[in-house]
Amino acid sequence: MAMPNDVTDLALATALPERVVKLEDLDFGLEGVIVLHSTALGPAAGGCRFWHYPDRAGAHRDALRLAAGMSAKNALAGLPLGGGKAVIRVPEGGFDRKALFSAFGRAVEHLGGNYVTAEDVGTGIADMAAVRSQTRHVAGLAAQPGYPGGDPSPHTARGVFEAMKVAVAHRLERPLSDVTVAVQGLGNVGFNLCRLLHDAGARLIVCEPRSDVAARAAALFSAEIARCSSIYEAKADVFAPCALGGILDHQTVTRLSAKIVCGAANNQLADPAVGKVLADRDVLYAPDYLVNAGGIINVAGEYLGWLPSEVDRRIGDIAPRLQALLDRARDENSRTEVIADRMANDIVAAAARRRRAA
């Protein structure tokens, strides 16, 4: 059986986490888990998800999967950070949100800097401020003038946007002004992405359960509104998942009309075999954890004290990184996500070897 840390011969996604910390401070309604998947490259970094999970096992499963994804994302982005994730179950009934996130902050502090948290689905700047009252190992706080910080979503959107340009040129030999993009989900990232795409001249088809938000996108970006259930069939060149993970499964991929998948949602493939189905259907898949790294790069800049210009430069590296990956996938006649997984695995394994040798 593989030992924690021993990622040398294992795919990152299946490597055991280094440490799993149960969160339980029931006085404050805190119940969940922090997973430190890998600290080979640096402190395990990844946001805190606050979500309704029917049971504890489901929350743990999600945290394990998301933390492994962060190891791969941070490694490929060239960050001096490992991968981790916190998942907290939304308590049944009333609760004091500030007290709950303060209790979470104490748990983060207890890990002595081996885990760095930030926002994720269900958490925001105010929650991270409560965490900050207990620990300095947190980012995603209100930005101070001249420093990185604040909501990471615009940075994520920018990385996805630049990567999409590369994917469209590679697969369709066209500029963004000549394509239609179907955007699934108009939350923090999806809405920002629509703005960038609209400004670049792309046509938009969008879906979003909040009808007022969809209507705003229609008004601002001349976007066509599709039903959430039929966005896969939208007559688009690019499908940009910006809502939930696991949305590309054996059924939805057969409904896709787009020839490119490039979006922000984490863990878009419901299982690895779906990548092969996409390739067999000649759909170019831009691996999510490569293209959506803009937010974590901004978080890293905030935590590690970089200048905004350094954050910008690193987000600017996402598109050339995708280009290199696409070229390599073509040259090796391999799938994009297979190459990306291998690259991330190699980076983490080399760091683990260096650490063992030190």
Question: Which residue's entry shows tokens 């938009």?
Answer: 204
259 an active-site residue?
no
Q: Residue 167 CB, nearest distance to ligand NAD (Å)? A: 17
Q: Residue 75 CB, nearest distance to ligand NAD (Å)? A: 15
Q: H/E element holding 101? A: helix 97-110
Instruction: State the residue number with the nearest CB to ligand NAD.
Output: 187
Q: In whole angstroms, give the CA distance from residue 351 to residue 358.
A: 11
* β-sheet bridge partners, residue 207: 184
Q: In whole angstroms, give the CA distance from residue 182 to residue 230.
A: 11
Q: In whole angstroms, give the CA distance from residue 274 to residue 38.
A: 26
Q: Point out which residues bind ligand NAD (CB under 6 A).
A: 121, 152-153, 156, 184-190, 207-210, 228, 242-245, 264-266, 292, 295
Residue among 28 and 161 whose Cβ is closer to ligand NAD:
161
Q: In whole angstroms, give the CA distance from residue 120 to residue 84.
A: 12
Record the tokens describing residue 170, joined without a space: 């590679």
Q: Residue 341 CB, nearest distance to ligand NAD (Å)? A: 18
State the Rg of the chain over Cα: 20
Reported in sequence order, the residue ranges of the chain that DSSP labels E, i.e. its strands, are 19-25, 30-38, 44-45, 48-51, 82-89, 115-116, 180-184, 203-207, 224-225, 238-241, 260-261, 284-285
Residue among 114 and 184 whose Cβ is closer to ligand NAD:
184
Q: Residue 229 CB, nearest distance to ligand NAD (Å)? A: 8
Q: In whole angstroms, give the CA distance from residue 120 to residue 188.
A: 11
Residues labelled as active-site residues:
85
